[in-house]
Chains A and B, each alone.
Chain A
Amino acid sequence: MNRYLTPSSPEGSSGGSPNSPGSVEIAGIKFAKTPRVLIAKPGLDGHDRGAKYIAKALRDSGMEVIYTGIRQSPDEIAITAVQEDVDIVGLSLLSGAHLELFPRVLAALKKQGGASIPVIGGGIIPEDDVPELLKAGVGAIFTPGTRIEDVISEIKRLLEK
């Protein structure tokens, strides 16, 4: 029966190459498995176009994206990330509350057993705030005009870190 213990390529994983079992290729970049991404909107911010745009673009690149909808608390986001077992969390915020909310999501993830899940953020975020966010543990920040290829390669970098 041991022959079944060799990892195999999951059904329907497009671009999976026969010599590296289970892996998928997304925008020319190889991932060990289909990445699952949580796109979440913390706080009271109702601007959801950017979040939906990023969610669709990542889907079209071949990732599995879970979207929480707007107005989520840091705890709700962290619990969702853990139950969905996502590989990365992407926060979208245009209201200006990122310095407060992004670190709170990181803390909530720690509490829920998701400390190892990397977090990235995007939206209206002044350049001056970026160093503080990175220092707090956010993996990368994306502002208007973001190219999806850059998001994908950044996800790859964070998953291999």
Chain B
Amino acid sequence: MKIIRSVDISQLTKLLTGEELLEGMSDGWRSRVRALSKAITFLESEPLLAMEVLSAIPALKSPVTSRVIGVTGLPGAGKSSLTNLIVREIRKKQKTVAVLAVDPSSPLSGGAVLGDRVRMQEHFKDAGVFIRSMSSRGALGGVARTTRSAIRLAGVLGFDYIIVETVGIGQSEGEIVELADTTLLVLMPNSGDEIQLMKAGVLQLADVYIVNKCDLASPARMINELHENTAPDNPDAWTPAVIAASSATGEGLQDVMHSIESHHVFEKTHPKGYEVRKQRAVKEILRALHHVVEPDFLALISEAEQNQLDEVIEGTRPALALAGELSKKFLRSVK
């Protein structure tokens, strides 16, 4: 398996489940981890094949037992440093964990320096920890297009936890809440202005709010502001935890671990929890639909009459109107 251009799905499945070992490897777990890393690369390079691969893996038909934790927040707020500490706590309980760390791609070159891993050096040699850096590859939601599929693949190896660190977020990138069971939002004591901007975005969507770096400045004001902005109107809903923490001193870490656990219990037992998971599934399906039909619609758009496109460019025909026509055309063509 050098750079895979075509993939044998049944072999890939066997490698992921450990039924078969990679050539020259005797350690079953190492071989599975290698297969996982190869599989992620494959889906990154061939995103449209993700659907084929994922639906062909029988192991994916059993319920996912991995807990997915999203770690999002402002650039440089300490997402990777906190992830490192959370991984340490998870390992203390003998549980396994996969970390998918997304960093932004350069809008100019498309390249990226993926640096989150540097903060997790203490776990490099731990066989119970898998760390994979992903470039956002131009995607704007804070995660990569392939992140969802990577979560599914990591689930096949049965990791107890899967942590997804997003790119540093600004106002709107909230895709992580569609992927994670529990989303942590990491802020800093002096991020008051950013909070203003985020009010309508991910700020209302996270499950646990962490004011990190409280060894540097008092988090009191931020904590108050967060309590004010995140308390749910509905008394039945999950009340987000707001925690002052420091990845430098370890302050607040136990509270973070505790909140992750209570949120898990809430989602599993509270009727509202089911509601949230259902909404998440709907959003995921919608996003997947977009990916699935995109190539067909790109083809339809390129077939559209030049004058139709010109009308949209000049504003004499609403894009929405042309979209409606193309959609009807698409539905007729699949009948």
> Interface of B with A (CB < 8 Å)?
2-3, 5-6, 22, 24-25, 30-31, 33-34, 37-38, 40-41, 44-49, 51-52, 105-106, 108-115, 117-118, 121, 124-125, 130-133, 135, 137-139, 145, 295
CB distance from B241 to the nearest CB of A (A): 31
**A119 CA to B283 CA, complexed, in Å:** 43
Please state if B138 and A11 are interface contacts (CB–CB under 8 Å). yes
Contacts of A144 in B (CB 8 A): none
Tell me the interface secondary structure of chain B in the complex: mixed
| A62 at interface, CB cutoff 8 A | yes
CB distance from B191 to the nearest CB of A (A): 26
Number of A-B contacts (CB under 8 A): 134
**A10 CA to B109 CA, complexed, in Å:** 15
Contacts of B22 in A (CB 8 A): 113
> Interface of A with B (CB < 8 Å)?
1, 4-5, 7-8, 10-15, 22, 24, 32-34, 36, 55-56, 58-69, 72-73, 75-76, 79-80, 82-85, 87, 112-116, 159
Please state if B49 and A7 are interface contacts (CB–CB under 8 Å). yes
Please state if A62 and B111 are interface contacts (CB–CB under 8 Å). yes
Contacts of A24 in B (CB 8 A): 110
**A85 CA to B40 CA, complexed, in Å:** 9
The chain B residue sitting closest to A71, CB to CB, is B121
The chain B residue sitting closest to A16, CB to CB, is B110
Please state if B295 and A65 are interface contacts (CB–CB under 8 Å). no
Tell me the interface secondary structure of chain A in the complex: loop
Please state if B112 and A68 are interface contacts (CB–CB under 8 Å). no
Contacts of A4 in B (CB 8 A): 48-49, 51-52, 295
**A63 CA to B135 CA, complexed, in Å:** 10
The chain A residue sitting closest to B295, CB to CB, is A8
Please state if A64 and B31 are interface contacts (CB–CB under 8 Å). no
**A15 CA to B5 CA, complexed, in Å:** 19
Please state if B34 and A11 are interface contacts (CB–CB under 8 Å). no
Please state if A7 and B115 are interface contacts (CB–CB under 8 Å). no
